[in-house]
Amino acid sequence: MAKYVFKCADIGMNCGFEASEKSIDELMPKIVEHAKTAHNITEINEDLKNKVTAAIKKKMF
C-alpha cells in the first residue's frame, strides 16, 4: 500500500506541517487548506503548485 506525503519543510518553509493520504487527489485539498490557514496563501500559482507537487513523496507501507 502506498501513501503520498507532503511536508512544508520540503519546500523551504519553516513549518512542521505534514500530511499524508492514499492519493495525490486526496492530499492536495489538505495542503491548500493548510496554506490558507497557516501561511495566508490565498492563491496557489503554477510555480508554487509545481514546487508542492515535486515535494510530494510516495511511501510504500
Q: Closest by alpha carbon to 34, among 5, 3, 7?
A: 7
Helix ranges, the chain (H): 24-39, 46-55
Q: Quick one: average pLDDT of 46-54?
A: 96
Q: Closest by alpha carbon to 22, among 32, 11, 30?
A: 30
What's residue 61's pLDDT? 77
Write out pLDDT tens, residues 17-41: 999 999 999 999 999 999 999 999 9
